[in-house]
Amino acid sequence: MSPSSARPRLRTRLIAWYAGSLCLMLLASAAVVRFAVQEALDRAHEESMTSSAQLFRQFFRVEIAEYRTVEATLTHIAGELVFDDRAIDVHRPDGALFVPPGVRPAHTYSRLLAPVRDFTAPLDPELAPGWTIEVHASAATLVAASRRIDYWLLGGIPVIVCVAALLGWWLAGRALRPIGRMAAEAHLLNAAAGSRLTLHDPSDELGRLGASFNSLLDRLDAAIGQQRRFLTDAAHELRTPLARLRSRVELGRLALQQSDHDGARANAERTLRAIEGELLAASEVVGALLDLARAEAGEAATTMSQGFVDDVITDELPRWRESAAQAGIVIALGQFDEVPAMFDATLLRRLLGLLLDNAIHYSGTGSTVTVHLSERDGRVRLIVEDQGIGIAAHERDAVFNRFHRSAEARRHRADGSGLGLALARWIVQQHGGEIHAADRADGLRGASVIASWPARVSVVSSSAIRQARPAPSGQPATTSARTEPAVT
């Protein structure tokens, strides 16, 4: 289903939440308003009943001076003070109802609309002690007003919610329309062709979302390009030794066919040795590719432990001295200090082997490869110098990329893979360090590869390592442990 034909579920959910929240707020507000209005109306009605009683008392105080007696004054007031929505009764001190002459004793309030509310107050404690006034007032108008308020609230809230929902639906549609266009454009996007989302306003929220999406596409495109280059380079590097293998096999077949001639068996032997060499080169390329793939996938585990870097290097050097001697090259030690540090011993041996292998293959017979080890400002510095073809200044960063080999390196050695220094850089990065190439410090022809990483060993730990270090041959050791426990 394309984004343009999808149901507007987000829009519907937004309007549902908006309408529901608005309805709840309006109902809560209506309840508060209803309570406040009812309280105000009740208070106003009570105050009007109090005012009526107060008016009756004032009238009584004025008229009693003329009529002298309470009964005469009340009889006069009953004919003069008349209310439309209320009636006033006067009770004698014994509680009996005072009925003026000529009025029916049975007092009814049929003219007052229900409901009727009562209010009782003393007539006048000084002029008429014991006499009380009872005000009967109709609350029909109050009830009618409350009912009209209820009708308006209950009828108006649904109308307001519906109008607000329609307006919100329209506004949500306008607000979400750019997202819909962005989704439709993303659905038709061809990231491989370099197309990206169109950003109308990069500074707003949608613009930042589109910019983030475009940045993600750029990273994906770069990753896909890197994979494509990796496969192309791997195919190119593997094709050469495989082609050589095919040619060697053809030569071996011809040698076997001519086995009755002198020297044919020797030719076949040389061909098989060449095939073995080509297979070894192809195996090394495949192994390096697998190592890089595991490293980039995060599958290569690193176990860091405290120890002496110089011990690992001196243990590894004899193996490389033998292979270097076969090529007529001498491996020597330059500045070589005692360096306690945190490192992965397996990876460190691999790093030294990669640097030495690179130096040996690009150095001539009779030359010297020198290994330097020191500590400076809390960082381990491992330097391998050769007297070979050197590395041009513009190539010194690129030589650590996979499969990169300069034209000079290809002329000097056609069977290289261009993966050794890439692996060396990954190993140094696993230790939190960096690696780079430079000219020799003495100015002679050749190159220096310098790897450095933080030692991460405190003064106390360094002393502990020295105390745990095995004693020289013929002397007792201070302890049987060589390094502190490993930390993964």
What confidence tens digit (pLDDT) does each residue in 418-454 have? 677 888 898 898 899 999 999 888 888 888 999 999 9
Asked whether residue 191 is assigned to any structural domain, the reply reads no
Asked whether residue 370 is assigned to any structural domain, the reply reads yes
Asked whether residue 242 is assigned to any structural domain, the reply reads yes
Q: Which amino acid is at 246?
A: R
Q: Which amino acid is at 380?
A: V
Question: What's the whole-model pTM score?
Answer: 0.46
Asked whether residue 487 is assigned to any structural domain, the reply reads no
Asked whether residue 477 is assigned to any structural domain, the reply reads no
- What confidence score (pLDDT) does residue 271 get? 67
Percentage of the chain modeled with pLDDT above 90? 10
- What confidence score (pLDDT) does residue 369 get? 92
**Domain end (from 269, 297, 325):** 297
Same domain, 287 and 320: no
**Domain end (from 120, 154, 188):** 154
Same domain, 34 and 121: yes
Q: Cβ-count burial of 35 within 10 angstroms (0-12 exposed, 13-18 middle, 19+ buried)?
A: exposed
Q: Give the range among 116-130, 255-269, 334-348, 460-474 with minimum mean pLDDT.
A: 460-474
- What confidence score (pLDDT) does residue 472 get? 46
Same domain, 444 and 324: yes
Asked whether residue 356 is assigned to any structural domain, the reply reads yes
Same domain, 285 and 314: no
Distances (CA, A) of 286 to 184, 241, 428: 43, 11, 21
Whether 180 contacts 4, CB under 8 Å: yes
Asked whether residue 388 is assigned to any structural domain, the reply reads yes
Residue 226, domain extent: 205-297
Same domain, 21 and 106: yes
Same domain, 108 and 13: yes
Where are any strands of DSSP class E within 64-185? 86-91, 116-124, 128-138
- What confidence score (pLDDT) does residue 176 get? 75
Q: What is the pLDDT of residues 251-305, one digit of tens each?
A: 766 666 666 555 666 666 666 666 666 666 666 666 666 666 666 555 555 678 8
Q: What is the pLDDT of residues 378-429, one digit of tens each?
A: 899 999 999 888 888 888 888 888 777 776 776 666 566 667 788 889 889 8
Same domain, 319 and 436: yes
Same domain, 211 and 135: no
Whether 242 contacts 281, CB under 8 Å: no
Asked whether residue 198 is assigned to any structural domain, the reply reads no
Q: Considering only CA atoms, which of 457, 470, 450, 477 is closest in space to residue 305? A: 457
**CATH, residue 398:** 3.30.565.10
Tell me how far apart the alpha carbons of residues 76 and 387 are, in angstroms, rounded to a whole number. 138
Residue 470 has pLDDT above 60, yes or no: no
**CATH, residue 282:** 1.10.287
Instruction: State the total domains in the chain.
Output: 3
Tell me how far apart the alpha carbons of residues 446 and 439 are, in angstroms, rounded to a whole number. 7
Q: How far is CA 241 from the centre of its chain?
A: 47
**Domain end (from 253, 276, 297):** 297
- SS3 for 340? strand
Antiparallel, parallel or unpaired: β 448-454 and 434-438: antiparallel
Same domain, 406 and 455: yes
Please list, in sequence order, all residues whose beta carbon lies within 8 angstroms of the beta carbon of residue 242, skipping any fewer than 6 positions away: 282
Same domain, 280 and 329: no
- What confidence score (pLDDT) does residue 450 get? 93
The pair of three-digit structure tokens given for residue 246, joined into one six-digit string: 């095919």
Tell me how far apart the alpha carbons of residues 423 and 427 are, in angstroms, rounded to a whole number. 6
**CATH, residue 70:** 3.30.450
- What confidence score (pLDDT) does residue 274 get? 67
CA atoms within 13 A of residue 5's CA, in its CB half-sphere = 2
Same domain, 309 and 264: no
Same domain, 292 and 338: no
